[in-house]
């Protein structure tokens, strides 16, 4: 049976509204239906190389078998993100899902945006949003926040190697 077990990576282009855990579950279901998941000590492990919020789209590496031993390294590795920012509204969750808490008619110019970008590059400290996938006492911060539990997010250091305005025509 071991020769039939797959080992390696599935590179999933994760669609909107699919959580990382749901994606891993779907891979497990498919492996089970194909008779490749195994049982007991022969059970094939499946994991992912980084959590993507259900509202995010993009590449989610899913590890199978021996490749799961690299998942920890993937979580700590440097990553590249591309994102879109909307100006004029702030939400309670700091994403498009939350209720709007503040609005503004001010829109920065391209020069305004380019002038502030260097402040967010290099080693910086940040407080992640309480609606993030980070775990607090073994539970996702966003689950606790949505349940009304007061969530204290700790300051953490990150390094932003590069930050570029990619679509200046979208900034007026």
Could you list the active site residues? Answer: 53
Greatest C-alpha distance within the chain: 63
Do 169 and 113 meet the contact criterion of CB atoms below 8 Å apart?
Answer: no
Q: Which two tokens stand for residue 120?
A: 């967010």
Residue 138 main-chain phi, psi, to 5 deg:
80, 0
Cα distances (angstroms) measured from residue 168 to each of 47, 57, 79, 83, 119: 37, 22, 23, 13, 18
Across-strand partners of 6? none
Do 123 and 159 meet the contact criterion of CB atoms below 8 Å apart?
Answer: yes
């Amino acid at each position: 049976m071991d020769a039939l077990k797959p080992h390696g990576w599935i590179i999933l282009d994760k669609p909107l509204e699919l959580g990382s855990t749901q994606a891993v579950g779907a891979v497990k279901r498919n492996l089970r239906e194909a008779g490749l998941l195994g049982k007991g000590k022969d059970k094939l492990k499946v994991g992912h190389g980084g959590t993507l919020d259900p509202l995010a789209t993009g590449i989610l590496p899913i590890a199978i078998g021996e490749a799961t031993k690299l998942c920890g390294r993937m979580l700590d590795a440097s990553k590249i993100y591309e994102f879109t920012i909307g100006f004029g509204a702030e939400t309670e969750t700091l994403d498009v899902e939350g209720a709007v808490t503040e609005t503004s008619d001010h829109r920065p110019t391209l020069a305004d945006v380019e002038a502030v970008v260097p402040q967010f590059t290099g080693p910086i400290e940040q407080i992640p949003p309480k609606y993030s996938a980070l775990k607090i006492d073994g539970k996702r911060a966003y689950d606790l926040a949505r349940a009304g539990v007061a969530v204290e997010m700790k300051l953490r250091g990150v390094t932003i190697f590069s930050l570029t305005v990619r679509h200046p025509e979208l900034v007026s």
